[in-house]
């Protein structure tokens, strides 16, 4: 028995099979929480159940906190390799690990085309696989913006080079200028999964109303960044105690609230499918709750950083935490967490926003907005919601895997015989203090550097592609 050494693409050869042994399988779509073996051949799940394939090879584990002074400290110390090769069978000993349907990120900035030095499709896919994702949506605010069928096709064809499903979200307005609608029908026909001007908000009410009418006609979801510029212009952080203390221009939560109010009313009249992305304010949660109670087709997401941090994070003028929408008060943060727990907030999305070091390592006024999130999203959510707040693991998996796909009309993966293998393996007891060496993304502007996160992703299976994390 020899240790398997993966090539750069982490692909198992065609004539090999993958055997995941003794995993705890949690599949919310099937209501399954059991311990079993999974046999995968040619990217398809061939059987689930105890089998002699691969033999018996217990892997000793000593998962405990390290006293090492090294900053790359980790709480996952395996005495044997996670994956081994026996004949033509790749064997993953999953004793102590959880196997679940792989995750889906509905809000990712891949920067290609135009800003490939920050991120490109290949590096973004590598970061996604590292974080346990087998598919994602990319947002349209590239250079040039994804506002025509040719760029939609470009994104799809580029992602196929890496056998990874990237769903393009196309622009609602040409050049993201908020003045003229794009061709919704043509964009959808060529593969756009949704429409958004993310990073920008359509200010003209009549145009937004027309956008919703056409989106309803073409049955395509809208992903809305809600921001009234009259309340956010020149603002650098949430308007409150800390903005006054630091002498920084504030952004009132009214900037978000007023636009959500407006667009809920438009959704009521047009029946458009509206998804409010990266909501940040307590009042936004209340408004969306009321809209859902009225039976409107509205959904929403929150980012990991808005769940964990508040505006006090900027107290030392750390531009890492300059984000749009801004980190708001502790009361807002608590309302967002409660919104996840009670189901008003449907999903978590990373808003993965890679930037160069020079764009973030500067003054708060000069810094770019945004942080990365693909690689830390699951561990952050697991640590905050499951370990600290006792949310059920099955609920978190549902939030990260099943619900985002359903919002977009995509069939979620399931761990059952005959299905494509889209499986994430994670260790609920392992932890790591996040540092620059953790990331596969080209950019390291993470809000979670220095944070101790539990629930490290050990492997991501995406059809014939298998990524084993160190």
* 3-state SS class at 137: strand
- Residue 202: per-residue pLDDT: 98
Query: Model pTM?
Result: 0.92
Domain holding 60: CATH number?
2.30.40.10
In a domain, 412, yes or no: no
Domain C-terminal end among 379, 407, 435: 407
In a domain, 359, yes or no: yes
Catalytic residues: 351
Domain C-terminal end among 388, 407, 426: 407
pLDDT per residue, tens digit, the chain (470 aa), is 233 333 444 556 666 799 999 999 999 999 999 999 999 999 999 999 876 554 443 333 332 333 333 334 567 654 456 888 888 888 999 999 999 999 999 999 999 999 999 999 999 999 999 999 999 999 999 999 999 999 999 999 999 999 999 999 999 999 999 999 999 999 999 999 999 999 999 999 999 999 999 999 999 999 999 999 999 999 999 999 999 999 999 999 999 999 999 999 999 999 999 999 999 999 999 999 999 999 999 999 999 999 999 999 999 999 999 999 999 999 999 999 999 999 999 999 999 999 999 999 999 999 999 999 999 999 999 999 999 999 999 999 999 999 999 999 999 999 999 999 999 999 999 999 999 999 999 999 999 999 999 999 999 999 999 999 87
In a domain, 160, yes or no: yes
- Give me 320's structure tokens: 């890492």
CA–CA–CA angle 16, 22, 26 (5° rounding)? 100
Domain identity same for 375 and 455: no
Give percent helix, percent strand, percent coil of the chain, each to the nearest 5.
Answer: 30, 25, 45
Q: For the chain, what is the domain count?
A: 2
Domain identity same for 134 and 226: yes
Domain identity same for 403 and 458: no
424 CB-side CA count, 13 A: 29
Domain identity same for 376 and 280: yes
Domain identity same for 377 and 422: no
Domain identity same for 63 and 29: yes
* 3-state SS class at 276: strand
- Residue 376: per-residue pLDDT: 98
In a domain, 248, yes or no: yes
- Residue 10: per-residue pLDDT: 55
Q: Among candidates 350, 420, 343, which has minimal Cα distance to 381? A: 350
Q: Give Dmax over CA atoms of the chain in angstroms.
A: 67
In a domain, 333, yes or no: yes
CB atoms within 10 A of CB 34: 13
- Residue 228: per-residue pLDDT: 98
- Output the DSSP codes for 227-270: --HHHHTT--EESSHHHHHHT--EE-THHHHHHHHHHHHHHHHH
Domain C-terminal end among 375, 407, 439: 407
CB of 462 within 8 A of CB of 419?
no
Domain identity same for 371 and 447: no
User: Could you give the C-alpha distances from 351 to 329, 389, 423, in angstroms and in order?
Assistant: 20, 23, 22
In a domain, 413, yes or no: no
Q: For residue 397, give its domain range.
A: 101-407
- Residue 58: per-residue pLDDT: 35
In a domain, 131, yes or no: yes
- Burial code (b: 16+ CB inside 10 Å, e: under 16) for 325-343 equals bbbbbeebbebbbebbeee
Domain holding 237: CATH number?
3.20.20.140
Domain identity same for 401 and 442: no
Domain identity same for 392 and 436: no
In a domain, 167, yes or no: yes
**CA pair distance 202, 215, nearest whole angstrom:** 14
Domain identity same for 283 and 137: yes
Domain identity same for 84 and 202: no
CB of 8 within 8 A of CB of 81?
no
Domain identity same for 334 and 454: no
């Amino acid at each position: 028995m020899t240790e398997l050494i993966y090539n750069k693409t982490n692909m198992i050869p065609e004539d090999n099979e993958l055997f995941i042994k003794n995993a705890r399988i949690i599949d919310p779509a099937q209501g399954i929480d059991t311990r079993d073996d999974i046999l995968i051949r040619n990217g398809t799940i061939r059987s689930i159940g105890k089998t002699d394939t691969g033999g018996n090879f217990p892997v000793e584990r000593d998962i405990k906190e390290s006293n090492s002074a090294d900053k790359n400290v980790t709480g996952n110390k395996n005495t044997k390799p996670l994956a081994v090769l026996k004949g033509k069978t790749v064997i993953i000993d999953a004793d102590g690990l959880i196997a679940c349907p792989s995750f889906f990120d509905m809000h990712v900035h891949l920067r290609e085309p135009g800003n490939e030095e920050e991120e490109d499709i290949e590096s973004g896919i590598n970061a996604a696989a590292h974080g346990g994702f087998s598919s994602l949506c990319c947002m349209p605010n590239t250079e040039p913006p994804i506002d025509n069928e040719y760029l939609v096709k470009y994104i799809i064809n580029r992602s196929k080079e890496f056998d990874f499903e990237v769903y393009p979200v196309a622009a609602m307005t040409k050049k993201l200028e908020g003045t003229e609608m794009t061709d919704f029908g043509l964009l959808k026909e060529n593969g756009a999964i949704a429409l958004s001007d993310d990073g920008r908000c359509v200010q003209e009410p009549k145009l937004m109303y027309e956008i919703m009418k056409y989106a309803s006609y073409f049955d395509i979801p809208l992903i809305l960044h809600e921001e009234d510029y009259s309340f956010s212009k020149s603002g650098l952080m949430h308007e409150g105690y800390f903005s006054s203390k630091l002498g920084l221009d504030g952004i009132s939560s009214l900037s978000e609230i007023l636009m959500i109010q407006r667009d809920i009313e438009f959704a009521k009249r047009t029946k458009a499918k509206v998804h409010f992305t990266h909501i940040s304010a307590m009042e936004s949660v209340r408004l969306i709750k009321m809209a859902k109670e009225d039976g409107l087709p509205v959904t929403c997401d929150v980012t990991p950083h808005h769940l964990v941090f508040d505006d006090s994070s900027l107290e030392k003028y750390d531009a890492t935490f300059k984000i749009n929408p801004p980190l708001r008060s502790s009361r807002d943060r608590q309302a967002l967490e409660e919104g996840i727990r009670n189901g008003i907030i449907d999903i978590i999305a990373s808003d993965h926003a890679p930037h160069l070091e020079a764009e973030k390592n500067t003054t708060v006024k000069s810094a770019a907005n945004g942080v990365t999130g693909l690689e830390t999203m699951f561990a952050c959510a697991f640590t905050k919601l499951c370990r600290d707040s006792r949310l059920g693991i099955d609920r978190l998996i549902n939030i990260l895997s099943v619900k985002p796909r359903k919002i977009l009309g995509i069939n979620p993966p399931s761990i059952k015989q005959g299905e494509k293998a889209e499986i994430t393996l994670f260790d609920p007891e392992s932890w790591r203090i996040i540092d620059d060496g953790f990331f596969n993304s080209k950019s390291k502007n993470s809000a979670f550097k220095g944070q101790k996160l539990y629930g490290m992703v050990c492997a991501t299976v995406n059809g014939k592609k298998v990524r084993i994390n160190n």
